[in-house]
Copies of this chain bind each other. A is one copy, B any other.
Amino acid sequence: MALIVQKYGGASVASCDLIKKVADRVISCKKQGNDVIVVLSAMAGETDRLIELARQVQPMSDPRELDVLLATGEQMTVSLFAMAAKEKGFEAMSFLGYQVPINTDSSYGKARILDISPERLDAALKSGYIPVVAGFQGVTSRGNITTLGRGGSDTTAVAAAVALNADLCEIYTDVDGVYTTDPNICPNANKIDRISYEEMMEMASLGAEVLEIRSVELAMRYGMPLHVRSSFNCNTGTYVIKEDETMEQVLVSGVTYSRNEARITVTKVPDRPGIAAGIFNPISEANIVVDMIIQNTRAGDLTDMTFTVPRGNYEMAMDIVKKVAKGIGAEKVAGDQSIAKVSIVGAGMRNHAGVAGKMFDILARHGINILMISTSEIKISCIIEEKYTELAVHALHEEFGLNHE
């Protein structure tokens, strides 16, 4: 007998009929002798509907009140799920963020979980109930409702699993698991059976949307095994676990890409201490996340600075940088929105030299020019022209041996 936390995403609970099917699934796990805690997202589309309502009333919606509004989405699914389980003869009880409680800081819209009290959930389990926890929401020390940001229900599930010392955290979604690359681009993509936390974090941060990155980080910190799988079939999905020997034999685990990129270049910047901070502080103050940064030194104490930002923040970032450039006496600011980032991820890179060289070679042989490069211990990312995205993904996926046989 094990304690399993099962998290179902919005697509899995998108209607009353689907909620009943999820209840069947939970009950069958329970019947096998397991204790189950269920964590649910809002019905697919509901959060967007609520955000739209808020915009109609207040275009720049007040963060505290927006969280009160958004929290209704998960409140609906947990109560409906508890009813569905009861209708099938099983005891279930819904728990909202403040009822568990799931304590967070007070960063509305992107709150961080501080801790989850296990007592009430534990008592419910001991009394034979299936606790049904609202994902995505928490409560501050002052009793205000917070939400955790997009994908926050994954984090709720992992945090609950950690707090209750569960044996496994299952993340149910509408795909069969984590793939070596996007199957929409590459029909030869393979489902990955086992992947390390570190690799999964790189994949998630590079655009693979199946798991929220903070949830992987949390699972890694506490060694909580994750099983990402489909709620629409019984196939084994992808286990996200501690790195072990068998994994290291794989050089590259996955190829990811992101079109959500834009590039800004400031040329002939006077090369003085503090110049980088002068450019990047105003950008981060506007809540814009800078990804890659490259600095090239020119002759005569001048330097060129190139960096990438999310495409949605491009206009705002350009405005800010143009002002700053004027102030520090830089020559020119140029921008480009038709770029993409392709990346390879693999724990095996740690022990194998030449992976980067192989990647650059593959891209070159396909006539793809590399605009920027960034590397970490287990990933290599290249910025290329956007029009080459599919070509690059196909080539890397094939030549690193990830294609279906």
Binding site for B on A (CB under 8 A): 16, 19-20, 50, 53-54, 56-59, 61-62, 64-66, 68-69, 71-72, 75-76, 78-80, 82-84, 86-87, 93-94, 96, 98-99, 143-145
- List 18 interface pairs A-B (beta carbons < 8 Å), by A numbering: A16-B53, A53-B80, A54-B79, A54-B83, A58-B83, A62-B82, A64-B94, A65-B80, A65-B83, A65-B94, A66-B79, A68-B79, A68-B82, A69-B76, A72-B75, A72-B76, A99-B143, A99-B144
Q: Are A82 and B65 in contact (CB under 8 A)?
A: yes
Distance of A7 from chain B, by nearest CB (Å): 19
Nearest-CB residue, chain B, relative to A60: B87
Which of B68, B76, B80, B84 contacts A96, CB < 8 Å? B68
**Would A58 and B86 be within 8 Å (CB), given that A93-B64, A94-B65 are in contact?**
yes
**Besides A62-B83, A72-B75, 13 new A-B residue pairs in contact (Cβ under 8 A), listed by A number:** A19-B57, A20-B57, A54-B80, A57-B83, A58-B83, A64-B93, A65-B80, A65-B82, A65-B83, A65-B86, A65-B94, A68-B78, A68-B79
Q: Are A62 and B86 in contact (CB under 8 A)?
A: yes
Distance of A99 from chain B, by nearest CB (Å): 6
Distance of A150 from chain B, by nearest CB (Å): 19
Q: Are A69 and B62 in contact (CB under 8 A)?
A: no
Q: Are B58 and A87 in contact (CB under 8 A)?
A: yes
Which residues of chain B are within 8 angstroms of A84 by Cβ–Cβ distance? Answer: 57-58
**Would A56 and B96 be within 8 Å (CB), given that A65-B83, A65-B86, A75-B69 are in contact?**
no
Bound Cα distance A80, B76 (Å): 18
Which residues of chain B are within 8 angstroms of A80 by Cβ–Cβ distance? Answer: 53-54, 57, 65, 69
